[in-house]
Amino acid sequence: MEAITFHVGWEYFIGIFSALIAGAWYANRRSTALEMSMDRIKNMLLELKKAIVDTNAKASGEGARDEAEACKPLKQQTLW
């Protein structure tokens, strides 16, 4: 059985290498966009939680700031 040999010129090598770099850059950009959108979601949820606490405090007649300060901030979790 004979081995298969590919003869690739430097022009094609540069093209293939550039395509690999472009693919990695695109994948990294998508990952960064996902992280940014998750930060936005986290901030929106924190603002919503604060608004709910303020509304509940106003309804019960207590100071909204005391209860809002008592709530612990959410901890950001990472996958790695």
Looking at residue 61, the DSSP 8-state letter turns out to be T
Q: Please report whether residue 50 resides in a domain.
A: yes
Q: Which domain holds residue 31?
A: 12-70
Note the pLDDT of residue 64.
Answer: 45
Report yes or no on 1 lying in a domain. Answer: no
Residues of the chain with pLDDT under 70: 1, 31-35, 62-80
Is the backbone of residue 76 left (phi > 0), alpha (psi -120 to 50) or beta? beta
Number of domains in the chain: 1
The answer to whether the pTM exceeds 0.85 is: no
Q: Residue 59 domain-assigned?
A: yes
* pLDDT computed for residue 55 by the predictor: 86
